[in-house]
């Protein structure tokens, strides 16, 4: 189904004070030997997982009830909690050996955060997609924003496989000299331009994303699911710009049409599959389905 989405606010905010406290504690625990590793993991991976575990352990997670975004994390959060507990025990023991009772407390805290990060990484899966950039697209061929949306929703990272940038001549040969992709009006019946475009830059059993300047019916993006488009290889097309949506939502949304094998849009405005600007959550069932998709490894 094509997506005619039209609104978009700001991204989610920065790290919480609880996480900052954790990081501060770690700095004083340099002798526990965990600080360097933890800080580098936090730097590369962000602090929100530690915050989530802290919420879970402290019961503060109840506040998140009704928020599809946080509810959707239940599955992978279990790995974080287990990692946190194991890390806490090890960190505590190491801290005690190095710094006595105070070291145990500091080391235990560091271990909980480090364990949570490790647990999260172990539960992470990857969706590899090819990217084809068509003449007129201003989009980067990196997909960090969409990957962040999908990581937050289902702990699935998007990795970029084969990248192909079409020349003007190649682009015009596929979608015409206007460089506007002619959109299908009936699911299962792709236009000639869509057929020509989606034949380019393929790898078996891999979704290819096509970045175009614009789309004929004004859609933000469209998805070609194998069950709805048996004659088209699994593909999504996205036009320039994510505004007014949260950055990355259009691509993550279209990809999830394929991963969920579903063309409908829920009314829950917190859901990634809704038409809302800022809905980026998935239900627990959707998280399971996304993570068990044949495209996700
Ligand atoms: Zn849609």
Residue found under tokens 């699935």:
156
Name, in order, each residue with C-beta under 8 angstroms of 258's C-beta and a sequence gap of 6 or more: 207, 223, 224, 225, 226, 234, 236, 293, 295
Predicted pLDDT at 77:
67
CA 239 vs CA 28, 106, 219: distances in Å:
49, 49, 8
Sheet holding 235-238, edge to edge: 2-3, 221-224, 235-238, 207-211, 125-133, 156-165
Q: By C-alpha distance, which of 41, 64, 65, 36 is closest to 116?
A: 41
**Ligand 1 centroid distance, CA of 277 (Å):** 12
Phi, psi of 211 (to 5 degrees): -95, 115
**Ligand 1 centroid distance, CA of 128 (Å):** 20
**Ligand 1 centroid distance, CA of 250 (Å):** 8
Q: By C-alpha distance, which of 113, 107, 145 is closest to 41?
A: 113
3-state helix, strand, coil in the chain (%, to 5): 45, 15, 40
Q: What is the pLDDT of residues 5-43, one digit of tens each?
A: 332 222 222 233 333 333 333 333 433 444 444 444 444
- Parallel/antiparallel/unpaired status of strands 221-224 and 235-238: antiparallel
CA 83 vs CA 21, 86, 160: distances in Å:
20, 5, 29
CB 128 within 8 A of CB 256: no
Predicted pLDDT at 163:
98
Predicted pLDDT at 50:
42
For the chain, which ranges sit under pLDDT 50?
Answer: 1-74
Burial grade of 121 (CB within 10 A; 0-12, 13-18, 19 or more): middle
Would you call the peptide bond into 166 cis, given omega within 30 degrees of 0 as the criterion? no
The whole-angstrom separation of Cα 272 and Cα 254 is 10
Show the 3-state SS of 256-287: HHHHCCCCCCCCCCCECCCCCCCCCECCHHHH
**Ligand 1 centroid distance, CA of 77 (Å):** 27
**Ligand 1 centroid distance, CA of 264 (Å):** 7
Predicted pLDDT at 165:
98
> Which residues surround the ion ligand 1 when the cut-off is CB under 5 Å?
3
**Ligand 1 centroid distance, CA of 288 (Å):** 19
Q: Which domains does the chain have, with CATH numbers?
A: 17-123 (no CATH), 125-291 (3.40.390.10)
**Ligand 1 centroid distance, CA of 278 (Å):** 14
**Ligand 1 centroid distance, CA of 105 (Å):** 48
């Amino acid at each position: 189904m094509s997506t005619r989405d039209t609104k978009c606010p700001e991204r989610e905010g920065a790290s919480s004070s609880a996480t900052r406290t954790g990081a501060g504690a770690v700095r004083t625990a340099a002798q526990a030997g965990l600080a360097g590793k933890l800080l580098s993991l936090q730097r590369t991976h962000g602090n929100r997982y530690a915050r989530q575990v802290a919420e879970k352990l402290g019961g503060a997670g109840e506040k998140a009830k009704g928020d599809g975004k946080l509810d959707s994390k239940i599955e992978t959060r279990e790995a974080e909690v287990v990692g946190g507990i194991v890390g806490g025990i090890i960190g505590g023991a190491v801290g005690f050996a190095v710094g006595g009772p105070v070291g145990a407390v500091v080391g235990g805290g560091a271990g909980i955060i480090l364990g949570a990060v490790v647990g999260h990484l172990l539960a992470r899966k990857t969706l590899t997609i090819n990217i084809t950039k068509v003449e007129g697209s201003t989009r980067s061929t990196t997909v960090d924003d969409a990957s962040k949306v999908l990581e937050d929703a289902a702990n699935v990272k998007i990795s970029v496989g084969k990248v192909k940038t079409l020349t003007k001549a190649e682009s015009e040969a596929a979608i015409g000299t206007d460089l506007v992709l002619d959109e299908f009006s009936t699911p299962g019946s792709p236009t000639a331009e869509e057929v020509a475009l989606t034949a380019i830059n393929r790898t078996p059993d891999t979704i290819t994303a096509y970045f175009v300047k614009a789309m004929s019916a004004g859609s933000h993006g469209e998805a070609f699911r194998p069950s709805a488009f048996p004659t088209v290889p699994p593909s999504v097309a996205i036009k320039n710009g994510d505004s007014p949506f949260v950055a990355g939502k259009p691509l993550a949304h279209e990809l999830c049409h394929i991963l969920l094998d579903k063309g409908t849009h829920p009314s829950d405005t917190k859901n990634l599959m809704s038409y809302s600007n800022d809905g980026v959550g998935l239900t627990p069932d959707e998280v399971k389905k996304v993570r068990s998709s044949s495209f996700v490894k």
